[in-house]
Structure 1
Amino acid sequence: MRTKQQTWRTTVLALLMGVAACGGDGDGTGSRAPTAVTATTPTTITAVAGAAVTPAPAVRVVDSQGRGVSGVPVVFAVTGGGGTVTGGSVQTGADGTATAGGWTLGTVAGANTLTATVQGLTVVTFTATGTAAAAAALAEVSGDPQSGAVGSALPQPLVVRVTDANGNPVAGTTVAFAVTSGGGTVSPTSAATDAQGRASATMTLGGAVGAQTVTATVAGLPQVSFSVTATAGAAATLTKVAGDNQTARTGAAVPVAPSVRVTDQFGNPVSGVTVTFSVTSGGGSVTGGVVTTSAAGTATVGSWTLGAAAGVNTLTASAPGVASVNFTATATATSDPCTVRTPF
């Protein structure tokens, strides 16, 4: 009988010791040494720059048996990309889990990192990619001011940039380009922004000299205007303005000095063109025969003196790259005051 009682007591004692060894914690929690910490929320995240990450980062601390350990201090800290964390110093709960109060990404789009640290254990790192928010601003990058000859394509494209409220480039936004004054064309008329938030178009100037305007528009945002200047093109035409078909005495200057105008292909006056006036028939002479066109595109010979013989005289005006024009004048004989006419 005593042997049976001793055996029973030994068994009960062993059971009690086993319970004590298990910490008396039937649900797998209690005061045990933490041996590992792992993330319980995704460690690779994408969110809008400047916004809070959901769900908030969380980790679980366990012992060597994989059971949660409560009361363990965990420090959550931002280690890259800017941003902030609230509730960064917490203790694990009954199941060994600790959750940061909140993690708000930095305002600059790109990589952000947050670490969860338990003393003596491997650090857990959360990585988030901050993306641009909705388009909030449209701004000119380049292309204004510039100038070019009428009818030609401007040397530089017209470039705009779309950004969000934090200044991050917004890709894939449609920008509409349109000529609003001065004529001309723009290509393309619609373009999507690239990874840098940029969209561009090339303008071909209209035929009128002066200011020309192109606008860039994104729905819901203030538009951007480009103001460019069209200048006269190359000399294309030389025309007579005044001084043709005159009559003067032989050896005398015509009363109106011949004048010409130089224009481009669109009829705009071209300044700075050298015009040469030269006598081509009838003799005679000119003064100021080489003249540069004015802002109005005109050039006027100094004077044209007809030849000594009565008859037709010709003056030619010429300029590089254009067809020349001819002026004609009739020289009439001068009466001899010493001649006495008799009635027979």
Structure 2
Amino acid sequence: MLTDSKSAQAAPIPVGALVIAIDAMGGDHGPAVTVAGAAIALGDRPELFFQLHGDSAKIAVELARLPALQARSVVIHTDQFVAMDEKPAQAIRRRNTSLANAIHAVKSGEARAVISAGNTGALMALSKMILKMLTADLERPAIGCSWPNRRGFGTVLDVGANVTSDAHQLIEFALMGAAFHRALRGTEKPSIGLLNIGSEDVKGHDDVREAHQLLRDNTLGLNYHGFVEGTDLCDGTVDVIVTDGFTGNIALKTAEGTARFIKDLLKDAFKSSPLAMLGALLAGSALKAMARRIDPGAGNGGPLLGLKGIVIKSHGGADARAFSNAIKVGVSLAASSYEKDIAAALARFSESVAEHPASLAAPAVDTNITAVAGQ
């Protein structure tokens, strides 16, 4: 079904459907991936119904091959979209883009979550402007991500929303990360670690050491482990690892590059001789399982934590399967008490700040939007 941005509410939505808004034009591949990803997600979760925001002609080409999705979606047309290299300030001024319209669908209650593989800075700026932050104290969202480790998947944040973070913000990240991990992974009381250059109390810069002391002595109900190092990211030492966005983004991109490097090395090694090719054939199932475990797409879908609404950022270069994983993250959060958990945790934190203003004073709010996550 096709409609325009002003008549989205007229679209018939099946009773009991969970509506997800998709920025169909976002990412490196646009509708070829976003629409196909929605179809994959629908195959796993038949209760879903999609708003597909973007160029109706381009979306229709993809929908023509996907009758099941066509029956469970509405196309909300706009010929405007946010380019991957567009500056956030420019994106904010253009109010009828596919990205802005998809976020507005969450704001109005038409959709429960929005998924975009588009421009990270624009997604951040528009989400904050349209949906607002959960509390006045929160400066901007944090981006969380699922990180493969020996025990399954952990959560790491921030991975790109905030270039620097003080002790107050790091504690907020810990609270929001715990709520996200609980909603997505079902761990009732996730363990939390602060990423540092060593596990000793004296190591690290002032902000991370201050956050460590406050979390160690916290009355916020957190399961705080202490400092963790880079090697703990994949060991699964804790469930949630907290860091600033600059460090987190570098760690994320390094891990993704290393995973691709290892996969390429293995391919080259198993093509090096007939005997090696035979070994690859014999170990085929094990190699495929390993490839799935280290595939960045397996954990694709990072929430913008701290907003009054569910916003999920997909990798810009995601394929259809990876994009469907981002949709599933949004669905899991929509089905949980995640938003209420974060609001309650932040309220407890605000009470602690009021009781101990000297040690937990909030930073001055910086209205300059900066995002360093990959687009």
Q: TM-score, normalised by structure 1?
A: 0.17
Structure of higher CA gyration radius: 1
Bigger share in strand = 1
Q: TM-score, normalised by structure 2?
A: 0.16
Bigger share in helix = 2
> Which structure has the higher relative contact order (CA within 8 Å, separation 6+)?
2
